[in-house]
Amino acid sequence: MPHTITPTTVIIGCDVGKSFHQLHYMNPEFGVLRRRKLGNNHTQISDAFNHAKTLGEPVLIVDQKASYAALLRVVAAQYDIPVLYVTGLQARRATDLTPGRAKTDRIDAQVIAEFGRTHAHRLPTIQLPTELEAQLRLLVGRDEDLRCDLNRTINRIRDLLTHYAPALEQALGRRVGVLGVLTVLVRWGNPQQLARARVGTISREIATHNPRLAGRTAALMRDAAKTALAQPGIEIGGELISSLAGHAIELVGRRKLVGGQLAVLAESHPDYELLVSIPGMGPKTAVRFVAEIGDITKFPSGGHLASYAGLAPVNRQSGTGLNSVRKDRAGNHRLKNALFLSAFVAARFEPAAKRHYDRQRANGKRHNAAVIGVARKRCDLIWSMLTHRTMYLSPVEIVAVAA
């Protein structure tokens, strides 16, 4: 909800820092009430907010909302002080309008306070997440870190295989990341050692995780490894491949553990069952959506949700010389990716989404643009479902209910 500045409001502009915060107290007439530098600790922040309460009804304007500002947000919630957010780009552009070329924490705090005073009705209010939402966000972030680490590890294995046994890397392709193949590489990281192993032994190693791939993949790996030539460093290279493969297996296990925790937490969220009822919205996508959105009521419409995700088109028009529509490169990229993947699946299997996708393609849109169009349309669907607390109904089910 937009925040309204009243005659008794005390605007506190805060230049957020890791160890220290610079505060600028200001009344609605832009009069300076106080300037203060305080440490990022509970005692000094509480003292600052206590003093602000004696001056009027404080509202805090911050230029960061991540870890550096976490304690500020918690203490502000304890004192029932609303927290508004100014983006870094907005703060920099506001600084350009300030006379002088000096840049200090005091000037930044004043700029933030003045910008917040002028645009308070437009700035988003930062609300503390619930315990469940906080846990989901932490676990989703951890899963993303593990996924990136696993991807880097697999790419490093493929790079080493390309160096010492390019035929083996080409034969395996994306199957390098399969658990059974990783188990084989842990035991025989050196391609020359793998070439001397028996196909039956390799097959049994693969079968511990991937029985269907065992026979064919074992013969393929052994035959491709035979083409490896003795090269400088191949012994150490083999050890590195074995070590990286073991690390990859460990990362896969960690992701499974985090995924299990996410599944248990997500099922207790009130929006989870509604989201997974939508075609194309699987458990992982639903968890990502819940973690990034929080409370759906902060979005007045599906269009606002699409804009937040970066799915709404951006119009550029000026006179007769400029009139274009381009895609939005801003927004919440994690949410955008989740909605894109959901729309990609729905465009293949859900009739309504497939019809919309086909219309987009018939109008000359490329594949990705058409999928984004489906994702944008589904933002209205998701917003309506979560707002009215209704499960997804297919067109056939809607006709049956109406009858």
Residue 219: Cβ within 10 Å count = 13
Same domain, 140 and 254: yes
Extended beta strands in 88-235, E state = none
Question: pLDDT of 175-209, one tens digit each?
Answer: 899 999 999 999 999 988 998 889 999 999 999 99
**Is 254 a member of any domain?**
yes
Please list, residue by residue across 56-83, b when 16 or more beta carbons sit within 10 angstroms of its beta carbon and e when fewer do: bebbbbbbbbeebbeebbebbeeeebbb
Same domain, 223 and 286: no
Same domain, 37 and 113: yes
**Domain end residue (candidates: 248, 264, 280):** 264
What band does 1 get if pLDDT is binned at 50, 70 and 90?
low
**Domain end residue (candidates: 53, 84, 119):** 119
Q: Is there a contact between 24 and 110 (Cβ–Cβ < 8 Å)? A: yes
In this predicted structure, the answer to whether residue 216 has a pLDDT above a threshold of 50 is yes
pLDDT in the model for residue 395: 57
pLDDT in the model for residue 399: 40
Angle, CA 172 vertex, CA 169 and CA 176 arms, to 5°: 90
Residue 389: Cβ within 10 Å count = 9
Which residues neighbour 149 within 8 Å (Cβ) at sequence distance 6 or greater? 251
Residue 131: Cβ within 10 Å count = 8
Same domain, 153 and 254: yes
Q: How many domains does the chain have?
A: 3
Angle, CA 224 vertex, CA 161 and CA 172 arms, to 5°: 60
**Is 323 a member of any domain?**
yes
Rounded CA-CA distance 90/329 in Å is 17
Same domain, 280 and 370: yes
**Domain end residue (candidates: 222, 240, 264):** 264
DSSP for residue 101: S
Question: pLDDT of 50-88, one tens digit each?
Answer: 999 999 999 999 998 888 999 999 999 999 999 999 988
Phi, then psi, of 210 in degrees rounded to 5? -135, 80
Rounded CA-CA distance 61/73 in Å is 11
Instruction: Read off the pLDDT of each residue in 240-266 and give the average, rounded to a whole number.
Output: 93
**Is 36 a member of any domain?**
yes
Which residues neighbour 343 within 8 Å (Cβ) at sequence distance 6 or greater? 280, 353, 371, 372, 374, 375, 378
Q: Is there a contact between 311 and 328 (Cβ–Cβ < 8 Å)? A: yes
**Is 130 a member of any domain?**
no
pLDDT in the model for residue 398: 46
Rounded CA-CA distance 92/99 in Å is 13
**Is 127 a member of any domain?**
no
Phi, then psi, of 377 in degrees rounded to 5? -65, -35
Same domain, 243 and 330: no
Provide the 3-class DSSP secondary structure of residue 117: helix
Please state the pTM of the whole predicted model: 0.80
Same domain, 178 and 286: no
pLDDT in the model for residue 155: 95
What band does 122 get if pLDDT is binned at 50, 70 and 90?
confident
Rounded CA-CA distance 320/60 in Å is 42
Rounded CA-CA distance 39/366 in Å is 52
**Is 346 a member of any domain?**
yes
Domain with 38 in it: 9-119
Residue 193: Cβ within 10 Å count = 16
pLDDT in the model for residue 402: 37
Which residues neighbour 298 within 8 Å (Cβ) at sequence distance 6 or greater? 127
What band does 382 get if pLDDT is binned at 50, 70 and 90?
very high
What is the CATH number for 50? 3.30.420.40
What is the CATH number for 161? 1.10.287
